[in-house]
Amino acid sequence: MTLTRKLWSSTAAIIAAAALLAAAVALSLVPQPASAASLVRVTNFGANPTNLNMYVYAPDAVAARPALLVMIHYCTGSASAVHNGGGRDFVSAADRNGYVIVYPEATRDGHCFDVSTQNALRRNGGSDSTGIMSMVSYARQRYNVDPDRIVVAGISSGAMMTNVLAAEYPDVFSAGSAFAGVPAGCFATTDGSMWNSQCSGGTLLKTPQQWGDQARAMYPGYTGRYPRMQLWHGTNDTTLAYPNFGEALDQWTNLHGVSRTPVSTDQPQSNWTRTRYGATGTAAVVEGISAQGTGHDVPTAGMVGYAITFLGLDRPPTSTTTTTTTTTTTTPPPSQGCSVKASVNAWNTGLTETITITNTSPTAVNGWKLQFTLPGGQTITGGWSATYSPTTGQVTATNVNYNGQIAPSAQVSIGFQATHTGNSAAASGFTLNGVPCGAA
């Protein structure tokens, strides 16, 4: 059987799901605002080893520092299909709240995303996830995206990619929402195939520690926090069987270091059971919603609304910029080269520090080194979005491959975890490529 026929056979239920989603949209009671914004294809966005297409939806009024949603389609799908179908409520919310949506589009036979090969399952491995991260980097620069509000969501194959991206790039994404997916790494194969029947059938079972270790192996050495994760699954799913829901909950509770026993259970709708882990309410780091009697045809009515809230996309913008050319007045930058904001979250003998670098010069930065001084007694034990050397005293943080360019007025957010002996103050004396940085 050819790969194309195998993909079509394995995803027949997904095609039916797409039709049901389109029907659900037609019945939507939410009026759509008049808008001139449209889905736009972007080319030459950076490294793209598997020839993905990139589409962007920027609403008419983009927030000054918008959130960014990466929305990933299902097998046989496309950017326009999810934009106009199951993800339409995300678009309406973008119009209200000013965030930007990036749509990766697979171009291989079957239009599934690679979540199976060795290259796909490691950070910067050179498969689909590498191309998607180039899209994220492009959008961050183009739209002055808030680095703390980059989130990802996906359906079926896109849900599987959601889990993979969150595992490989936990320093980039703050949250994810996966509609009918599988744990990160579950679909791994060794024969070049893109389909893992054991995983799809729900018979690939592991302990929470094993699932957590499989995800951690996608970004070796990382010790920072992982994205908050929301998981949706129908109990009657025969395409990606329901046991994958529990296995994914095992993985993400382990990654967050919280108990697999939920701290709360409720029913947002009559056939939904929602369990929350690590905390109650919207502070939960992991949330699972099981839809009784539902098959692979998710999201169903109402689900996207809950995903929007979980992902933090329901905040209205404090200010906006339009997508047309306008004359604006801006506050003078704090320096003529760069500004830095450093914030610390400390406990007992440990801390995490987030550093946001703003390019305040009129020209782009292409490749950067940020030097700073750690207070005495602090030692870096791990970091994200940069490499750090040495781990004490005067430290140099060097860009990684996806964030080396900082456009004028754009920002890059990096951070690290450290131990301390009593002094948990922020680093100081920041210079970017030798230029002293002002305080943001």
Residue 397, helix vs strand vs coil? strand
CB contact at 8 A, 129 and 120: yes
The whole-angstrom distance between residue 269's C-alpha and the CA centroid of its chain comes to 26
**Exposure class string for 160-194: b at 16+ Cβ within 10 A, else e:** bbbbbbbbbbbbbbbbbbbbbbbbbbbbbbeeeeb
Active-site residue numbers? 156
- Nearest to 104, CA basis, from 71, 151, 77: 71
Sign, CA dihedral 117-118-121-123, equals negative
- Nearest to 159, CA basis, from 285, 73, 69, 94: 73
**Element (H or E) spanning 12, and its range?**
helix 12-26
> 10 Å Cβ neighbour count for 210?
15
CB contact at 8 A, 409 and 358: yes
Q: CA-to-CA distance for 302 and 307, rounded, in angstroms?
A: 9
Sign, CA dihedral 422-426-429-434, equals positive
Cα end-to-end distance, the chain, whole Å: 59
Q: CA-to-CA distance for 8 and 20, rounded, in angstroms?
A: 18
What is the residue type of 338?
A: C
The whole-angstrom distance between residue 300's C-alpha and the CA centroid of its chain comes to 22
